[in-house]
Structures are given as structure tokens and as C-alpha cells.
Amino acid sequence: MKLMNKLIDKHGAGHVTLRPEDDEDMWHLYNLIQNGDLVRASAIRGVKTVSSTGSTESHRVRLNLTIQVKRVDFAAGGSSSNQESGNTDEELPTAALHVSGPVTSENPHVKLGAHHTLDLEANRDVRIEKYGGWDSIAISRVEESIIPGKGAEVAAIVCGEGVAAFCLLSQHMTLVTHRLNVPIPRKSASGASQHDKGLDKFYGSLYESFLRHIPYSNVSLRAIVIASPGWVRDAVYDYLISEATKRSDKVLLKALKEKCLKVHISSPHVHSLVEVLKSPEVTSQLKETKFAREGMALDRFFKMLGSDELRAWYGPDHVCLAADRGAIGTLLISDDLFRSSDPGTRKKFVEVVEAVQQKGGEVVIFSSMHESGQQLNQLTGIAAILTFPLDVERDRFPLSFHRPSTCFFDMTKRAFSPVFAEPHARPTKRANSSKSFNPIKIATAEAAAAVDADTPFSQLMKELTKTVKQPSDGMSVVYWMRMCDLRLRDNKALSRASAQAQKHDIPLIVLFIISPQDYIAHDRSARRIDFVLRNLAILKGSFSELHIPFHVVVHTPRKTIPKFVLSFCEEHGVKTLFTNMEYEVDELRRDIEICKLAFPKGIRIEVMHDKCIVEPGVVVTKQEKAYAVYSPYQRNWMATLNGNLSHFLEDCPLPVANDSSVRLLESLGPLFNSQIPETVAGFELTDEDKAKMKEIWPAGETPAAHVLQRFLTTKKRSSQLGGVDPLASGSTICPKFNRIAKYGNERDRIDSDTTSRLSAYLTSGIISVRQCARASMLLMNSKKVESDKASGIGRWLQEIAWRDFYVNIVAFFPRVSMGRPYLEKFSQVVWENHQASSDSGIGRAGNDDDDVETLKRWKTGMTGVPIVDASMRCLNEMGWMHNRARMITAMYLTKDLMIDWRVGERYFMEMLIDGDLSSNNGGWQWSASTGVDPCPYFRIFNPYTQSLKVDPTGDFIRHWIPELRKVRGPDLHNPSAALADKLGYPLPIIAHNEARERALRRYKNPGEQ
């Protein structure tokens, strides 16, 4: 940026004229120009003139206009995007800055007061006169922007096999200047040459792109980073050196040898730049740069928040108070706050900065164009590290704000109400939560925002990069099996662990930990625990045939699991542990702790992505953010999947048997005697329910595969409507009119077995989601995954994409699993019941004895609305419910009865055999209009019209509601008061139209009755 003119008096009045030269200068202008300022710049206008002959001529003229700013829009130039398919070599646009408002100076071609938009251009002067005067922050921004010699300080190539993103990091911006995507054929015995040709083409394109997009000869460029998972970074570096040597490019060779750093990252996507900037190789060289200081300051804040929270404050009110007390040692503030359209708000933050500086404190102003600035914005945009602990009484703060308690990093799962009764139809026995273990369920909004700002998922991915690179062989390998991967076939972690054991000729051990406290924290159903135990018993036999010891242990308390696992590894000489990732907050934090304990002991932790087809973090927006809307996610998901089928649908080999001699080993022999418990205390089933679950949900991989095969090949049957064996005889194979062929048109029908009934097997990982996708391709005889929503297979795969989508949400927006709505504006909606809360304002487990009558009727299927009651009775008996029925019952609870969605979310988890946190939470928040991509709040299902659509035959209602078994026609779906009274069926709790009006009122104005 060039300073062309500056005239500012001691009171801050005056103007500055600047000449921007590049994208970063546009960013500076964006931070300087505010509503109300006077801006003068060059513009082009279309002008019409009338000639002497009366003809009209149009031409364009360049003129200078002065406007009073009403709106400022900035579009960053370099942005990331996931290419859907094909060979792409993408040039990315430059930044654009648009300033709009009325014209304030007379001009021959533009009327005074006319509205105009100035498109600010590089190398053209911009004159700015501040509406409220030039404060210290604005003047500092001008002085910083005109420092000569600035520019990119770091260049980074984030790459994987066939893909690369070229990035430039300057003081204030992270720009993705170029993207490269070259398809590389899968390597095989018959087609190795095609694979090698693809690699050669990729490396050649990357080299040419490097020359065009990396300013390697610039003096200001301090480092060139090549980052990738696996071996790619080394291969890229070697190719660049080789090619530069062939071409005798001495400048490039010198730059590569002096500036190049190779860094390991978890995924080949631009969001992994956070890992790059925190890596020891980079921080040692770049510790004096602005973006490095930002990252280190944010790291210090989060560490302080975890270790001494009375010295870590965030939120405007708290930080302002700390500044008044002179307690701030380091102030972290986002430049977003200085762009406020309210002059008073900006002034408040300027005064805070000046107050901290006057008292000798450090001020770090974060750029919201850097990843660290975006994380700070999620934490309200302002935080402080205090020089001494500050504990101010609660009544000194606004009532709407609660400090997180000392349990801040123990905020766990979903919220629930104290109003949960034991319905008469409920077949399970659940022990009351122990008084010694009463986990927090509802986080404060601020605490949840802090976790979103530095997610456990990203922390674990970072920890995994620090793991032991080349551990010793050890005496054995451990695969830690979990509740979500109960199978031998197509199990990534198990397959990798077996391969490792075979490579080093050492035995494989399988470990499973039963953790009752985790089951309580997650509201696991007794049915799910019983299903897990039944499958463990089958797995024990399968592992025994392979001479693989299967050690199952019950462990309490859950907080000592990391130490137990490491102790187990040390006892058996294990140097590598394999496991599949669980994406919930508690489980991620547990694995982070295990990684930290394992590293100094020389034990390598390998955590595989196995639950999803496309793991979290791969499908992202153009801004490298997680999608919060399903449709674009699904399109990108499908393109990503079909672009690399061999990777995402890999069929992992079965584990190889140990040598039978392992049974004779003194250390491993006793592990074969490990017993599978019949029950887990507090999660017992009645004998009747246990028998029913065994009948309708047979355990094992073989039944799961048969259930899938029947869905793909047989016709629907009304005889499969209720709680019956899904593999009962009588099915009819039909190639054209089987259930999946008709799934697109009939998936919402609940009056026969129109769906796959695979959810219980997928949730517990008894069958892999990859196996389902591969089976659909085989059925279609296709080399691509079906993406046509109009086909049955395409629509079914949409549901699999929904599953991945919700896992992605839990990973990147963990607050949704901490009892918080994704849309915080709806946290103030007035419900008919009330959540329990501790003295700190954080929700805890409640007492079922306080269940209100309305909620009891919903749980037991006695609401007086047939489709709702039939669905709830189905849930209570089968531990399962059709997805459409889940939507109808959830929306009825949240919008007709106006009962908090978290109440229903918990009840479903406690009853479902397929209860999965991400899908269950996503479904409930969708129905309640509080989540990602939600049903709009004004869309409220009419349960009676829904009933006619989903159960047109009435078979579903008649099956589950014997009181109405003899009723036919419309009365079945909405019986009159007289008919209901005659048949002994309850009247509706509330009229739907009345309930709808109440819901609309409360959602439109959250906080009002």
C-alpha cells in the first residue's frame, strides 16, 4: 500500500489517501472503511448524450465520486474448494472490495444523493475521511499497511496423491492461489504403468504450478512448506530438486535447500494449515511472524483455560471488567470487532486496547483471514490471559452470562430434563444414576463455543501427528475394539493391526472395555448394551478359532481408562495399538490423553477412520469449513467418493490367525479365558424383553449380511410390520420390484418393511457402511456409486450420506453433543417443561419421578393422536422405529406439546437398539428447527395428514393400537371424540391448530410465552 496523502489533526479529524496494490491491501481497506465514512475513489459510469441532430449516444466515462458509506462488502481472492471430479488446474480470483452509499459531492454525471457502489481497484487512489475521527486502531492499521517490503512470508503446498493446494501466508491473510487435481489410476499388478504415468503427470503439473505460484526468489519469503500425510511430501520435494537440477535452475535449488520444510499433516486439505503452523519445524523458524504470534497466543489462552481458568477470560463483558481491574497481561482481539457498524461498539473495544497498552499489557489483534482469528471469533472475538487470578461474584455479571465451572472440560453429552417417568410399557430396568457419578449434560453457550473454537477432533488429529514415528516391533500388537466396530470383516483397525502383527511375526491381541460410566453419560439403552454383549460372545468364538486372545474387561471409573490401556500395553510388550475413531467429545478427549501417555513410553497409537465412508474433514466448503447444509455436502460427498472409490470403499482384509502356540504363552494364555458378562449392572433387560430382542435383532455378522441381501433382492411384506425375525421364511426374491428398487417411492411408507432394518447393525459396526455401498454397486453392475436421487439405490445412498453428514457435524460443531442447539437463537424458546440445572447454571441428570403427565402420555403412546401413539408403542416394544415415524413423533413432542427436544433425544437413546449420538441428535435438532440444515420453525407437521401419507392402508396403526383395530377409513387416523370414548382410546392432549399457533409464536420470538 502506498500512502499518497495524510492530513489528520491531533483530535483525529482529517483524511488519508491510499493506493492499494494487492489483495492484502484490499483487506486493510476493508478494515479501515466503516459505515458513515466518506470515501472518494475512481468509478466508471454509463453516460448518455444527445447530439445536435437529436440522436442519443451512450458511452462510459471514468470519474471520481465521493460517497457516504452504508455498506462494505469484501470477497477474499484465494479460496479453497473441493473439486468434484476430473483433472483440474484452477486459477483463483483476486480479492474484491465494494463500498456502497449515497453520493455526497456534486458531479456532472451523478446526482447528489444518488446511490452508487464503488468497486475499489488496485493501483487507484482511495481517499478516506472517518465519520468518528481517526482513532488509534485505525491509525495503526494505516501505518502497518504502508510498511515497505511486506508480502508473503510463508508459502505452503498442501498435498496428497494427485491433489495439491498452493497457499501464501502473509501478515494478515491466508490466500489459496492455485489448486491442482490430477486423477491417478489405482496401482495394480496389471496396471502399474498407468499408475506411474498418473504420478509423473501429477509431479510435472505440480512443478510448473510451483514456478508460477510460489514466489521462491522473494527475499521476504522465509519458508516454503511441503505438507502431506504419508510419503507424498518427500516424493514432491525429491521431484522438485531433481527437476531444478535438470534445468540448472540455481535460484530454485537454493530456495529449496535453504527455505524448504517438510511437515506431516493428517489430511491433504487446506484446513490442515493449522497443523502446519503449529508444527515444531515451522514455529522454530517463524516465531516472529504475526500469524505465528497469533497462533501461540491462542494456544497459551486455551492451555490457561484448562489449567487455571480464573486467569483465562473471554466474552466482551468479562474482558472489559478485567481491563478495568488492570488484570490483563495479554489481550486477544479479532479485527472483526473493529468493523462493527455501531461506532459506540467500536469505541468500546478501542478503549479496551488502549487501556491494556497503557498498563503495559500485550495486545494481539487477530486477522479473521487466518485460521487462528476464525477460532477466536467462535469464542466471541475477544479473550484475555490475566496476570493474576480474578474471581468476581456472579451478581457482578449480566444474568444472561454464566462463567464455565471448574468442570469446563468435562462438559459431556446431550441435555435432558428431570421429567422422565418409567412408562408402563417400558420393558427395561435401569438403575438410578449413582450419586458419585452424575455427569454434566448441558454446557453453557460460552463453554460450548470454546470447545467449538478448538475442537477435540482437531486436537486428536494434531496429537496423532506427534505419535512415535518408528516404534520397535514389540512382543505383540493390540487392536482395541469399541462399541462401533463389532466385526471381523472389513474392519480397518483390525485389518491394519493384523497386518502389523504378521509383518513382525508377533501375536495379535484384541481388547474390549465395558465402561458403565460411559454408558450412563451417553444414555445408552439397555437394549443396545445387550446387543453388544450378544455380539461380543459371537466374536469371542470367531477370534478363538483364529487363536487370537479376546480380552473383555469391565472398567470403572472411566477417567482412568487411558492409564489402564497403557498399562495393558506395557504388560504385554505392545509397541503399536490400533483402534477405530469415535467422534463424540468424551471419546476424543480420552484418545487424546492416551496419545499423550503413549508417546513418552515409545508406544505408537494408530487411530483409523472406519465409521463413515468419507471421514470428517474431507468434504468441506470453498472456505475450507465444515458444511452446515446437507445438499451441497451431499453433492460434494458423492463427487469425492466417486473420484476415489478404491480409497473410500476399500475392502479391508480379514485378520490372519495367530500361531496356535500363543495359547501356551504365559502372558497371553490367560487372556483366552476372558468371559463375556451376561449383563452390565444398571443396564439389565427383563427376561421377556431379552428374548424379544434376540428374536427380532439376531446378533452376528452373518445375520447382518443376510438382512442386507434381503433388502437388495426381496419384495416387501406386511407380515414383517412388527417385532418379528427379519430373516423369517416367506421372503420372495424379485429382481425388479424388490425393496431397494422401490425405496425411492416407498421409503416413507411405514405400513410394511420398506426400509433395510440395518440401522442396529451399522450403529454397532456389525456390518460396515462400505460393504453396503459396494453391495449397491454390485447390484447395479456399476463402477460408480449411484447418485441419481430418483432411483431406489440412489435415494438409499442419500441416507448413508446423511449419516456421514451428522458425524461431520459432531466432529466440527461438538457443542451439539453438549446439550446446545446449533442455532443458539433458539436456546431461549420457552418450553412447557424445564431443564434441570446446577447452581452454576449447567444442566445435570434429573429425576424420573418428576415426569409430567403430558410427557408420560407421549412416552407410552397415549397422546390421542394415532400415528404418534402407534410409533411410540413400536419404539417401546421393538427398540426401533421407522425414520419417518421418528420425525413425526419428534416434531409432535417439540412443536405440538412444546417439550424441550433434549427430553425426547434422551428418551430415544434410552430405548433404541440403534441409538447413535450423531444421527439421533441431528434428527431431533432437525425436527425442533434448532440444528444444522433444519426444518424451518414455521414448518410444523400436521400429524393427521402425515398419517394418511405414511400409513395409507392403516395397517401400522391397527397393528400397534389394538383399541382401533376394527376402525376403517379416515376415522382411524383422526377418531372423533365420541368414537375414541367408545373404544377406550384417549382424546388428544391439545388441538393441532392451537398447538401450531403457540409454537409459531414462541419460535418467532424466543423467550416469549
CA distances from 883 to 747, 769, 890, 931 (A): 9, 18, 11, 17
Q: The C-alpha cell of 559 is what? A: 477417567
Longest dimension (CA), the chain: 111
What residues have CB less than 8 Å from 38, skipping those under 6 apart? 15, 66, 67, 68, 69, 104, 128, 129, 131
Q: What is the dihedral of CA 387, 389, 394, 397, to 10 degrees?
A: 0
Q: Which of 27, 480, 697, 924 is labelled catalytic? A: 924
Q: Write the DSSP symbol of residue 614.
A: S
**Pick from 833, 815, 832: nearest CA to 824:** 815
Whole-angstrom distance, CA of residue 375 vs CA of residue 277? 14
The 3-state DSSP class for residue 179 equals strand
Contact call for residues 56 and 50 (beta carbons, < 8 A): yes
Active site residue 880: no
What residues have CB less than 8 Å from 351, skipping those under 6 apart? none
Whole-angstrom distance, CA of residue 951 vs CA of residue 285? 66
Distance from chain centroid for Cα 636: 15
Q: The C-alpha cell of 476 is what? A: 505383540
What residues have CB less than 8 Å from 786, skipping those under 6 apart? 776, 777, 780, 793, 794, 797
Task: Provide the 10 A C-beta neighbour count for residue 931.
Answer: 24
CA distances from 915 to 608, 657, 755, 909, 949 (A): 22, 33, 17, 5, 26
Active site residue 883: yes
Contact call for residues 33 and 72 (beta carbons, < 8 A): yes
Whole-angstrom distance, CA of residue 728 vs CA of residue 725? 5
Q: Write the DSSP symbol of residue 685.
A: B
Torsional sign, CA 772, 778, 780, 786 = positive
Contact call for residues 162 and 18 (beta carbons, < 8 A): no
3-state per-residue secondary structure call for 214-232: CCCCCCCCCEEEEEECCCH
Lateral strand order in the sheet of 126-129 = 2-8, 14-19, 126-129, 38-50, 56-68
Using CB atoms within 10 A of its CB, is residue 852 exposed (0-12), middle (13-18) or buried (19+)?
Answer: middle
**Pick from 636, 667, 646: nearest CA to 549:** 667
Active site residue 799: yes
Q: Which of 799, 824, 832, 963 is labelled catalytic? A: 799
Q: Which of 27, 697, 802, 960 is labelled catalytic? A: 802
Q: Which of 87, 354, 446, 831 is labelled catalytic? A: 831
Region label for 841, one of left (φ > 0), alpha (ψ between -120 and 50) or beta (otherwise): left
Torsional sign, CA 781, 785, 790, 792 = positive
Q: Which of 901, 910, 920, 926 is labelled catalytic? A: 901
Whole-angstrom distance, CA of residue 817 vs CA of residue 917? 8
Q: The C-alpha cell of 337 is what? A: 470487532
Q: Write the DSSP symbol of residue 915.
A: -
Q: The C-alpha cell of 417 is what? A: 430434563
Using CB atoms within 10 A of its CB, is residue 296 exposed (0-12), middle (13-18) or buried (19+)?
Answer: middle
Active site residue 802: yes
Whole-angstrom distance, CA of residue 817 vs CA of residue 930? 13
User: Which value, in Å, is the radius of gyration of the alpha carbons in the chain?
Assistant: 31
What residues have CB less than 8 Å from 980, skipping those under 6 apart? 864, 986, 987
Whole-angstrom distance, CA of residue 899 vs CA of residue 886? 15
Contact call for residues 852 and 424 (beta carbons, < 8 A): no
Helix axes 792-812, 630-643, angle to 10 degrees: 110
Give me the active site residues, please: 799, 802, 831, 883, 901, 924
